[in-house]
């Protein structure tokens, strides 16, 4: 694939943003123009380029009369506010982390109200010390029970992004859509101070229970609820599905079986030994080494961002504590075999973030661990879909996904 930046992380995030264009989340010329103003590896220049674009569109929206044009402009502005925030999490006290989020929410919520059937924000309460912010998108207002897709983002992605990746594609096909965020995800970290948890069933089960209330949501067919996990959500959702038997289908884009294996891939072997050590000094030694590494001006952008995002999204101040939180995040030991529903596992030929081991990719190993209920689909460079989560190839990905899901649900 043509490289948009020599910096792999900047290339990926730019392609990710471009990939939202098909479903009203960005526009190609706008993104490329912003990208032309970004300096390689410079997080502030990334912020400045996308913030200026978001502000320009937000201001322009105030003069738009056509409601569809207004809606699409506001959705794009929301995307660019989110992207301007993307690399800022190394300083948890940066006030822009909250102010930019409020701006993206304001734009996104205005656009929600301009959909043919307006989207609805709903907070689902739990008994676990947090609430779950959700958005319900109805494909119709006629209250007819319809299949429903619950969308889960990952390590850094907001629920709003998912509308432009899978949501509109589902609505076009007659599905209702529910997006949500749990601990560790953007709004829950910002507004509730809750970092990622391994027990994702504590998030998914309350969402399924709440929206399965047929008297309150007659438009949701309780027998046709599918759960989809995107990126890190490719671990979170199968983890939840192992404990939640009301799901009719599971999709992982892409499948993840062992998060620690992937997240620790960039750590030297001697540093990994510190994470397994019972020596009380191991934490201090590991954190000292991590802090020195982060100060290295030649550190790859992806590694620097990955560490900073991890500390922020797990709500910890220690790299050692971060990796200890990640360590139990796996589907080993027979856990994956507890998933009972049909499962579609996507695999990317050029995966860079959730790398496998032993000659097999993480999705391949997840498929094997789930067993005969799972179907593996591998997309390649020839498909122009080899990047992590197949960014830039959403049309193909959705075609494959909804072909499979439609067959599972008996829609054709």
Query: Can you give the pLDDT at residue 72?
Result: 98
Query: Can you give the pLDDT at residue 406?
Result: 97
State which of 277, 310, 343 marks the end of a domain.
310
* Same domain for 148 and 25: no
CATH code of the domain in which 201 resides: 3.40.50.1820
Q: Closest Cα to residue 326, out of 389, 258, 278?
A: 258
DSSP string, 225-292: EEEEEETTHHHHHHHHHTT-TT-SEEEEES--SBHHHHHTTTS-HHHHHHHH---TTHHHHHHHHHHH
> Which residues of the chain have a pLDDT value below 70?
none
* Same domain for 339 and 222: yes
Query: Can you give the pLDDT at residue 101?
Result: 98
As to burial, measured by CB atoms within 10 angstroms (0-12 exposed, 13-18 middle, 19+ buried), residue 95 is exposed
* Same domain for 223 and 347: yes
Look at residue 321 and tell me if it is in a domain.
no
Between CA 191 and CA 189 the distance in angstroms is: 6
Look at residue 302 and tell me if it is in a domain.
yes
Look at residue 58 and tell me if it is in a domain.
yes
Identify the domain containing residue 23 by its residue range: 8-111
Between CA 378 and CA 393 the distance in angstroms is: 13
Torsion of CA 163, 166, 170, 176, to 10 degrees: -50
Query: Can you give the pLDDT at residue 248?
Result: 98
Query: Can you give the pLDDT at residue 103?
Result: 98
Gap between the terminal Cα atoms of the chain: 35
Query: Can you give the pLDDT at residue 269?
Result: 84
* Same domain for 131 and 36: no
* Same domain for 123 and 105: no
How many domains in the chain?
3
Query: Can you give the pLDDT at residue 70?
Result: 98
Look at residue 28 and tell me if it is in a domain.
yes
Contact 397, 405 (CB under 8 A): no
Contact 227, 245 (CB under 8 A): no
Query: Can you give the pLDDT at residue 297?
Result: 87
CA 291 to chain centre: 27
Per residue in 149-201, pLDDT (tens digit) is: 999 999 999 999 999 999 999 999 999 999 999 999 999 999 999 999 999 99
* Same domain for 353 and 227: yes
């Amino acid at each position: 694939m043509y490289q948009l930046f020599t910096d792999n992380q900047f290339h990926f995030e730019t392609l990710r943003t471009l990939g939202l264009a098909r479903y009203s989340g960005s526009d190609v010329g706008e993104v490329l123009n912003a990208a032309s103003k970004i300096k390689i590896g410079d997080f502030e220049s990334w912020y400045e380029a996308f913030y200026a674009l978001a502000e320009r569109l937000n201001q322009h929206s105030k003069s738009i009369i056509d409601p569809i044009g207004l809606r699409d402009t506001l959705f794009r502005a929301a995307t660019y506010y989110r992207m301007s925030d993307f690399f800022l999490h190394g300083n948890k006290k940066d006030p822009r982390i909250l102010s930019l989020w409020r701006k993206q929410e304001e734009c996104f919520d205005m656009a929600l109200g301009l959909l043919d059937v307006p989207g609805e924000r709903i907070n689902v309460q739990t008994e676990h010390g947090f609430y779950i912010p959700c958005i319900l998108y109805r494909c119709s207002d006629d209250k007819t029970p319809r299949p429903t897709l619950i969308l889960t983002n990952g390590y850094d992605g907001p629920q709003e992004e998912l509308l432009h990746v899978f949501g509109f594609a589902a609505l076009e096909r007659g599905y209702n859509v529910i997006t949500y965020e749990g601990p560790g995800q953007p709004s829950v970290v910002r507004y509730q101070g809750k970092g990622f948890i391994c027990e994702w069933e504590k998030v998914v089960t309350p969402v399924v229970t709440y929206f399965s209330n047929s008297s309150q949501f007659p438009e949701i067919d309780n027998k046709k609820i599918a759960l989809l996990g995107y990126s890190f959500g490719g671990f979170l959702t199968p983890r939840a599905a192992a404990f939640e038997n009301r799901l009719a289908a599971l999709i992982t884009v892409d499948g993840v079986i062992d998060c620690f294996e992937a997240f620790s891939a960039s750590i030297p072997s001697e540093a990994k030994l510190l994470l397994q050590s019972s020596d009380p000094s191991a934490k201090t030694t590991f954190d000292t080494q991590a802090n020195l590494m982060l100060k290295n001006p030649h550190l790859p952008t992806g590694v620097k961002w990955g560490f900073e995002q991890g500390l922020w999204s797990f709500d910890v101040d220690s790299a050692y504590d971060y990796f200890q939180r990640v360590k139990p995040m796996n589907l080993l030991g027979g856990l994956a075999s507890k998933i009972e529903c049909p499962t579609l596992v996507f695999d990317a030929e050029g995966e860079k973030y959730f790398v496998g081991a032993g000659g097999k990719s993480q999705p391949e190993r997840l498929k094997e661990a789930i067993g005969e209920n799972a179907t593996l689909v591998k997309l390649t460079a020839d498909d122009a879909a080899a990047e992590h989560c197949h960014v830039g190839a959403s049309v193909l990905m959705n075609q494959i996904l909804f072909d499979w899901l439609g067959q599972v649900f008996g829609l054709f």
